[in-house]
Amino acid sequence: MERNKLVTMIEIAVMAGLSFILSYVEFGALWAFGGSISLVMVPIFVMAFRRGWQAGFLTGLLVGLISLLTGGYVVHPVQLVLDYPLAYAVLGLGAFVVFHKPVTIGRIFAGLLLGTSLRLVCHFLSGVIWFGSYAPKGTPVAVYSFLYNLSYLLPEMLITSAVLLFLKKTAPRFYKQSASIESSSASY
């Protein structure tokens, strides 16, 4: 049990670091007010699908904190939480669709959809509450925030799904599920 817990912690650290590095592999233009299309979500979802929601959540949380510390844009403490640690941590909840079940292409896509939708909610709320002044005149703030955030999250989800499906076909061992943090008897 302790060895598995140590291996899980090491995987979380490695995948969080890899995720941060992959955040610099960007596709397309940068958005004027934040957001980009990158490979940042790939390692977070791999951890979630491989080790469960807690490992995925923790991996995402670390990625969000690292992103914040290395160049985050903060206007309010609650916005900080919504746009960084929480937005990446909720990606790990995609494991609810995949973990402890046979890992199929349909489940991978459903897990991606769940996690990315939750991330969209975080960024959407932040956009409505703190960045509404950027909405073009005559455009409802909620519509602007939704479309703005969807404009980079949808392509990022599709690119992430392509990478995860490629891994499923070429290296299925990435999805070899093993005991998650929650099944360990000892706590951190």
Ordered by start, the domain boundaries in the chain are 2-183
The pTM is what? 0.90
Strand (E) or helix (H) holding 167: helix 141-170
The CATH number of the structural domain formed by 2-183 is 1.10.1760.20
End-to-end CA distance of the chain: 13
15, 44 Cβ separation under 8 angstroms? yes
Segment 16-25, tens digit of pLDDT:
999 999 999 8
Report the C-alpha gap between 92 and 114 in whole angstroms.
9
Residue 79 is encoded by which pair of tokens? 């916005």
List the chain pLDDT tens, one digit each, 188 residues: 688 899 999 999 999 999 999 999 888 766 556 668 999 999 999 999 999 999 999 999 999 999 999 988 999 999 999 999 999 999 999 999 998 888 999 999 999 999 999 999 999 999 999 988 889 999 999 999 999 999 999 999 999 999 999 999 999 888 888 755 544 433 43
Buried b (16+ CB within 10 A) or exposed e, 161-180: beebeebbeeeeeebebeeb
**Burial (0-12, 13-18, 19+ Cβ within 10 Å), 97:** buried
Q: 41 phi and psi, to 5 degrees?
A: -80, -20
The pLDDT of residue 177: 82
The pLDDT of residue 164: 97
